[in-house]
Structure 1
């Protein structure tokens, strides 16, 4: 019996030591960043063919390198707010990844806005005044702000990790007529996004805006791929920079 007791005691000590080591290891483990969004955090068109997986030049990975974090990039090119919300509600692997996040970045709504832009162009038939009217009308009909809100609320139901929400940069080159449209429309869109985040912070803490719009300014030649709307490698670096600046407020 005494031998059995000694063996049990030894086994208990070994188990406790192993558990202590495991806990210490967890305490020093890298923090995790989960990036949710569309083709922008995916890093679309950064290379000959990156349709199969996100580009390592995309801003979530650049943030991870700078902040020494593990990165799970769940961005999907072409996703709208509806598609993301469906994944957050029903895709168990997606939900599990968000649950284990220490920090979250969110870049969504761009494709909703591009759809509104395309529909406005179709309805206006080249009339600039009608175009702006239809654009505002289509944006309102899209319900994009309510859907962004629903996505953030759903994220919050899964994790209390800080959330950095990217606003909308102007994707059109300075010599593109749509550049002026962007300068006219996007400040109002981003202001509504600011108000949305401020309101959500009354109910759910630790949500902040990363200001992509002012970070890009009128430097589309450097930050946006020519003939495209997606960020260049320099553009992704700029997005990483403003994202990390925002995240640093939560890391202090």
Structure 2
């Protein structure tokens, strides 16, 4: 008895899990995020953007999370205070290699701590000037060589795990010229960042075939808005500026290409189906009648499912596509749909009365006085001609065809109910057998 109950319970659970799984898959297919592996230090980590946490947790306002309007899944290999040497050791771990194997793009922002430690920034801030310019230059040169070697090896290791595009950020000067705290060392920051960006970052990008992102130019003259006051880390606006550099580049590498394919380009009386080629990282596809812009689709639009939709009228149509990297529209015209011709209707002719010719009476020997005249029969009319029924007029409906929203959910539900019925039948049959044995 217990075994029978367990079987029935198993069927119920199986059906529920099947329905849940199908719903989860459908939801996942509706949205595709971009997998970003973020390699770096406190800038990549988003240090000081929120309240300090123990242990530190990467901020969702850090630039990797903001790439492509935030439609990213970030796998983090960064930590506050890391130098290029520490990051190099970190990506040699099994966990980091597994992350890199999932990457669709890799961001690399490292080396600032190498330089800050080399110039002993705390002493410079305290004295408001370099301690020994000649000694400082030697330290910067040594740190620059170390950063160059480490980043070159880091990129080599990344390429062993993935062929995803690598986005290498340059250094920015955190010291604004009008900064009340760091304004006096703005010139020092300019000298170091320009030298290192030229000798390390842009050079490595050209040699290794990776993509150079110019953080220096993005921050230059905007330190007041992009740097946290009394700090060297980016504000949320600064993080957004770093994310925009990556988004702009990825839009060039992975453009949104909308290429509608019509089911026919010949004259037709049937609706025309429009299909779209697969677009990477698609989040949403809509369409509207007429020439539209991206702004028109904010609160409007017919959702496109399974990358196709159908229209039944000639006209101009616009397709809107939103991906993890941006939005785009495409306008086209359909002019091949012709209305169905209506069948001709025969008009019914009214019936015509046909008079019968009068029959002449044979001459009679009797006179009018002898016999009364015989009454002549009334005129007979022919039967009416049969009526011809009008054929039913075929109406051609117009309007937009509803999108195909059919899913397999009800089939799955019906299958589950069948399993439950079979289980119940088995349970009833076994109980019936046992009752007969007892008798």
Q: Residue 112 of structure 1: which of 105, 114, 124 is its match?
A: 114
Q: Residue 147 of structure 2: which of 144, 147, 151 is its match?
A: 144
The equivalent residue for 1:54 is 58
1:224/1:154 Cα in 2 relative to 1: closer, same or farther (>3 Å)?
same
1:94-153 deviation line (CA, Å, top 9, x unaligned) = 11001110100000111111111118968xx9875932x333311322311111111111
Please report the RMSD computed on the Cα atoms of aligned residues, expressed in angstroms.
2.5
TM-score using structure 2 length: 0.46
The equivalent residue for 1:130 is 132
Higher share of residues assigned helix: 1
Pairwise CA distance, 1:78: 0.8
1:50/1:61 Cα in 2 relative to 1: closer, same or farther (>3 Å)?
farther
Pairwise CA distance, 1:239: 0.8
Of structures 1 and 2, the larger Rg is shown by 2
Mapped contact 2:129–2:185 kept (Cα < 8 A): no
Q: 207-216 or 67-76: which moved more?
A: 67-76
The equivalent residue for 1:199 is 207
Task: Output the CA distance in 1 between the equivalents of 2:106 and 2:147.
Answer: 20
Pairwise CA distance, 1:230: 0.3
* Unpaired segments ≥5 residues, structure 2: 1-24, 256-439
1:93/1:121 Cα in 2 relative to 1: closer, same or farther (>3 Å)?
same
TM-score using structure 1 length: 0.79
* Unpaired segments ≥5 residues, structure 1: 1-21, 202-206
Q: Does 1:237 align with 2:240?
A: yes
Pairwise CA distance, 1:67: 6.2
Task: Output the CA distance in 2 between the equivalents of 1:129 and 1:38.
Answer: 26
- Listed as ranges, the matches of 1:1-252 within 5 Å are 29-51=32-54, 52-64=56-68, 66=69, 68-89=71-92, 91-118=93-120, 128=130, 130-131=132-133, 133-142=134-143, 143-174=146-177, 175=179, 176=182, 177-192=184-199, 193-201=201-209, 207-252=210-255
1:232/1:120 Cα in 2 relative to 1: closer, same or farther (>3 Å)?
closer
Q: Secondary structure at the match of 1:74?
A: strand
Task: Output the CA distance in 2 between the equivalents of 1:50 and 1:173.
Answer: 28
The equivalent residue for 2:329 is none
Mapped contact 1:209–1:246 kept (Cα < 8 A): no
Equivalenced residues, count: 219
Task: Output the CA distance in 2 between the equivalents of 1:69 and 1:166.
Answer: 18
Pairwise CA distance, 1:68: 2.6
Q: Secondary structure at the match of 2:36?
A: strand
Q: 55-64 or 97-106: which moved more?
A: 55-64
Q: Which has the higher contact order (CA 8 A, sep 6+)?
A: 1
Pairwise CA distance, 1:71: 1.9
Q: Secondary structure at the match of 1:70?
A: strand
1:31/1:241 Cα in 2 relative to 1: closer, same or farther (>3 Å)?
closer
